[in-house]
Amino acid sequence: MFDNYVLSEKGFKNVEIDGEVIGYELRTRITYYRGIPLSMIEDIQLKVDGEVVPREKIKFSPDGETYFTLDEMWTVTTYKWEYGVEGIIFVDQPGGLQEGPHEITLTQGVRVSYIPVPFFGTNTKVLELE
């Protein structure tokens, strides 16, 4: 529905804790015209430089503070991802990504009560680490 907005151009960076790079993150916008509980996010799929990121390495945060695995999100009804708020996708990858441009393909799917099947939005951009 909102494919061009799925992948934000800001916030693509390696994540460092105590001097050690533990992974990287990027930002996404919801593919629907209103907020939804995390349990209604069908899936988040990510490819970096043509390689599929394994599902178990991906976590999502609607607020930048609390992170959930993709499997956990199916049961989370107490957190809502609001329209217009960029969610954060964190990828657990020790060492992160190398500096320079990376081709990112992000697919996000959501379920809503009045549409019988999930719908997906996909966006590909070349982003450079901040």
Tell me the per-residue pLDDT of 4-36, one tens digit each, with 9 for 90 and over: 789 999 999 999 999 999 999 999 999 888 899
Domain extent, residue 46, equals 3-128
Domains contained in the chain, number: 1
Instruction: Tell me: pLDDT of 1 over 60.
Output: no
Distance CA 34, CA 13 (A): 27
Name the token pair of 64: 């930048």
Q: Are 61 and 11 in contact (CB under 8 A)?
A: no
Q: Are 105 and 46 in contact (CB under 8 A)?
A: yes
Read off the pTM: 0.93
